[in-house]
Chains A and B, each alone.
Chain A
Amino acid sequence: MSKGKGTFNKQLLIPIAALVALALFNLIKDPSFFKIALGENSAGDPVLSGYLITILDYGSELAILAIGMTLVTAASGGQDISVGAAIAIAGSVILRVLCGTNSRPEELQAPVIVAFLVACLVAMLFGAFNGILVAYFKIQPMVATLILFTAGRSIAAWINNNELPIISEPSFGYYGGYIPGVPIPTPFFIAMICVVVIMLVLKFTTLGLYTQAVGINGSSSRLNGINPQFIKFLTFVILGLCVAVAGLIKVSRLSTINYSVIAKDIEMDAILAVALGGNSLSGGKFNMTASILGAYVIQFLTTTLYKMNVQSDALSAYKAVVVIILVVLSTPIVRKKLSQLGAMILPKKKEA
């Protein structure tokens, strides 16, 4: 038990170290980064504001996606690069159901929950499509999801006849903003619900165990009575569900949709979250907590860069450098060299 806990902590070390480094950087640069103020939004409701709240707010979709992405990565040893496009589809479906035929409805044509459930169904169908290609046709996940990546945004535009529906109903904005009277942004609650659900699922079902078994060795897991194809398929469907939830938050934030911009590059962020969580991108063992923490660290980095007035287009260059440094530092070869170096320096200090 204690041994298991040891490895558990070791994996959490990477995102926590990155988080501490980022926090220290901000503390030195400008301590006001950590200020949280209670203010009022335009509707007169109390809301918390501050960079930390922004991180919790905007990191939510990423954390939700990271859950699904971790499972997919662990089971199939590849990543789903179509999540951004799939979010566009899910968001488009939600708006389509809510708006009916009119793109500027005075009131909602259907309850939000119905729209959400339809979006879940559609997103899971697209997840299933990816899953079938990966699990049953044995196509590499990245290539299989490349199909949806190319077509997704086009499909999303097609669902709404390329119109841009706008929803004026304020209650629709609750999911991506604030519920009146609650000062904490709703996406954070939604993310936490997802986290709790997945933790319970991992604790009380064999999903986690089976996923890891399939990821480590598909044929030996088959000999042990697990159906590896079905497990892979299942992880893609779960990711579809996560995509639908993230899609709801995304469209609710703006009450509208921009097909080519919504959730742009989020697939890269989600994959980075998994990598930052110390999970092997070639499948096998995974640590869900580390992935979720990784998602918030990525958002922390994004917010830090925004605060330093980095242009949103140039953001990616800085992110890339940070990511490469992190990944290089976490490779076994570099780690070994570093520990050798540490061992060389430390005795010298003692001698001195």
Chain B
Amino acid sequence: MGSADNKKNSGNKFMQWFGSTSDTNLLLTITIVVFFIMYIGAIAFQGQGFLKPQTFFNILNANAALIITSCGMSIVMICGGIDISVGGVVALVSMSCAVYLDFHGGSIAGAIGIALLIGLAFGLVQGFLVAYLDIQPFIVTLAGMFFARGMTTIVHTAPFNVENEAFVKLKDTRVVVPGFGSVNKLGNYVNAYVEIGVIVALLVVIILFVTLRWTKLGRSFYAVGGNSQSALMLGINVKRTRFLSHLICGLLAGVAGFVYFMHVGSGSASHAMGMEMNAIASSIIGGTMLTGGVGNIIGTLFGVLSLATIQNIVSSAGIDQAWWTGITIAAMLCLFLVIQSVVMAKKKKLLTK
């Protein structure tokens, strides 16, 4: 009897917590819990590969660019918009940088400048059209995506590897993570490493997390996304906030473009195909709602990690048929969307009771 009482009590406590916690924290908790369950499941069922820290760092290495674009996407989504041009911008940046470095003898600094400029230009134009001309963000960034993809082939058609010495050196730079190395089959100790891109990505995550949490601008993103009418009445410059969200997203897409470029070291029109969809999916899995006003950068980070882990599980399970990746990601997205929807509906009921 006592245990039943206890259960009931803890159930009540859970409901209390469930009702009182903010939407952002609730969805974030779900994401983190699911990620850990998935990763532990992977270790349990897929064997030792996932136990090695380097497996985890490889996930980070391969997805540094996606983390950065997803962070930008989250900001836009929190502000109530969407940006589907990011994949195109990443492809355009890597192609432009590749052409600049190899055909025009450019320097690394120049390439970084080009990347930032392209991102900034996309952010500026799209932000202006969305915020000040009041055009739907979906249409504007759709055109942006078309434009970026088309421009990539106009800049250069054939894919090629960059051979610029300074760049190759930068590309192969590895940052050793102390204490996470492992002993390989020959008995040698191998250091765990991450690429420079990962450090950039983590910096972006930290900066954006601080911005969203403790600055006026960050709070106004939430306010505008939650209810732009009341944000306006609070004296927030709604148009400028929207403009800035797209500007930040564009700029981050430029940064992500360079990070992606550093990872793959080549230019190709088919780079980052579908990255916008992965970024949106990561944001949603990370608990950002497309209706705006709800979201968290840490959640987005875990969203990317969850997505990448699922991909890793699928490929290491020996199901090499390419279509399974698409289907599993979609299934996962579906699951999270339904969870979000059900949880939100339940919570609404709880609050109105």
Contact = CB atoms under 8 A, between A and B. Distances in A.
B341 A137 contact: yes
B134 A332 contact: yes
Interface of B is mostly: helix
A313 B153 contact: yes
Contacts of B345: 138
B21 interface: no
Interface centre among B140, B144, B146, B334 (most CB of A within 10 A): B146
A27 B148 CA distance: 30
Interface string A263-307: 000001001100100000110000000000000000000000000
Question: Which of A150, A272, A327 lies at the interface centre, i.e. has the most chain B CB atoms within 10 A of its CB?
Answer: A150
A323 B134 contact: no
A323 B143 contact: yes
Interface in A105-141: 133, 137-140
A319 B151 CA distance: 11
Contact of A146 (B139, B151, B277): B277
A282 B135 contact: no
A221 to B, nearest CB: 20
B290 A154 contact: no
Interface string A299-330: 00000000000010111111111011001100
Contact of A324 (B136, B143, B277): B143
Interface residues of B, number: 48
Given A311-B153, A319-B146, A327 B327 contact: no
A52 interface: no
B341 A139 contact: yes
Contact of B135 (A79, A137, A150, A328): A328
B150 A317 contact: yes
Interface in B97-153: 129, 132-136, 138-140, 142-147, 149-151, 153
Nearest to B154: A314
Given A150-B330, A154-B327, A320-B143, 6 more contacts: A133-B337, A146-B281, A150-B326, A158-B321, A162-B323, A314-B153
Interface of A: 79, 133, 137-140, 142-144, 146-151, 153-155, 157-158, 162, 268, 271-272, 275, 281-282, 311, 313-321, 323-324, 327-328, 331-334
Interface of B: 82, 129, 132-136, 138-140, 142-147, 149-151, 153-154, 157, 269, 274, 277, 280-281, 284, 290-291, 321-327, 329-331, 333-334, 337-338, 340-342, 345
